[in-house]
Amino acid sequence: MVDLSVKFDMHNKSTLMIITILLTLTILLGVGVYTIFQHPPQNNQQQDENDQKDTTVWSYTFHHDMARTGYSTLPGPLTNHTVWTHLTQMQIEYSSPAVVDGVAYFGSNDRRVRAVNASTGNLIWSYLTGNSVESSCTVSNGIVYFGSHDHNVYALDSATGHKVWNFTTKNEVYSTPAVVEGIVYVGSTDKNLYALDASTGREIWRYTTSNIIYSSPAVVKGAVFVNSYDTAYALDAMTGKEIWSIFAWGPIYSSSAVVNDNVYFGASNTVYALNAASGSKIWTHTTGDRVESSPAVANNIVYVGSDDRNVYALDASSGTQIWNYTTGNDVNGSPTVANEVVYIGSKDNNVYALNASTGSKIWSYRTGSQIESTPSVANGMLYIGSNDAKVYAFGS
């Protein structure tokens, strides 16, 4: 015969145990919820603000930031005093130095990417690829990302130059990678824009455009803005789904700058301003020749070069010309703006510093060959490459 008192006692103990476990879980859940509300996860806006704080001193990528604004809030040099030059073995065409934590990273047609001390120009390391490097470097979380004419996108350890991974496309990579929230966005002349895992190089998605891609993608508010040779695109950053596209009668070498919900870029002999959300045209401005230059945008003014030898300042809202400055040859490099000064190179061999409001020349410096590289301003200094195979650093 079963002892009922023992049975009920076992039942009570089991019930008590279940109640105790449920109470413990409830308390732990409450602590977790409390912790979450005390320390909320960082949203995209907060991340954007932190990224902006990081880029006030340094220039992490082509045209300063992931929106490709070409604008630094800190000053650059007011004289042409040359602090150092670094000689490579071949010309530095379109690669623009990225300067982070006291180190300048840049590519050259001698197939190498170099890291040099940003204060002295002394070599720290170099990495040999299979072909020319005209892509600029992007530095993020201790990794240097860039493309090469050997068809690859590379990720290197920023301290040592050792390869972390490479991803092979089907053609040359001129495009400078954008790196946002663990994803690398980069275009190839195989017509594809790729989204890659920043840690492993694994392909997440690709989008096939209408033509080859020379431009560097901008990533703003969950959208990727990139230009193929004849069409401007906005894509969803997570899925690669097209948001809008606009045929622009290329050729388009220019990368888009995305500022105040507008997109600015050059195509053929025209500067375009589009609405970032819809792609609708706001204004266009026609120059005398092709616009390969990528616009810089600061204080409601768009600055851009043209192969008609001019640097232009245009009203960002209307496209009305404010001023132009005429150099001695094509201006297909891109401007950088810092502390009311526009810095830009020309194929007349000169680096120029112009007053951002008036266009008057503050200083210039003649290098040994044409300049197509875009200047970078970081920590009060200006860095730029030249086809004379040198990188120049100007400062006080």
Hey, what's the torsion of the CAs at 219, 224, 227, 231, to 10 degrees? -150
**pLDDT, tens digit, 9 for 90 and up, residues 289-345:** 999 999 999 999 999 999 999 999 999 999 999 999 999 999 999 999 998 999 999
Specify the pTM: 0.86
Cα(233)–Cα(257) distance, integer angstroms: 13
Cα(265)–Cα(217) distance, integer angstroms: 12
Strand runs labelled E in 159-241 = 163-168, 178-180, 183-187, 192-197, 203-208, 218-220, 223-227, 231-236
Cα(12)–Cα(386) distance, integer angstroms: 84
**pLDDT, tens digit, 9 for 90 and up, residues 219-243:** 999 999 999 999 999 999 999 999 9
Q: What pLDDT is stored for residue 396 in this prediction? A: 83
Q: What pLDDT is stored for residue 54 in this prediction? A: 54
Give residue for tokens 């920023």.
158
Cα(356)–Cα(304) distance, integer angstroms: 12
Cα(290)–Cα(305) distance, integer angstroms: 9
Domains and CATH numbers, the chain: 44-394 (2.130.10.10)
Low-confidence ranges of the chain (pLDDT < 50): 1-53
Q: Are 391 and 93 spatial neighbours (Cβ–Cβ below 8 Å)?
A: no
Cα(341)–Cα(62) distance, integer angstroms: 18
Secondary structure class of 95 (helix, strand, coil): coil
Burial of residue 31 (CB within 10 Å: 0-12, 13-18, 19+) is exposed
Residue among 128, 105, 107 at smallest CA distance from 116: 105
Q: For residue 251, is the peptide bond before it cis, meaning its omega torsion is within 30 degrees of 0?
A: yes
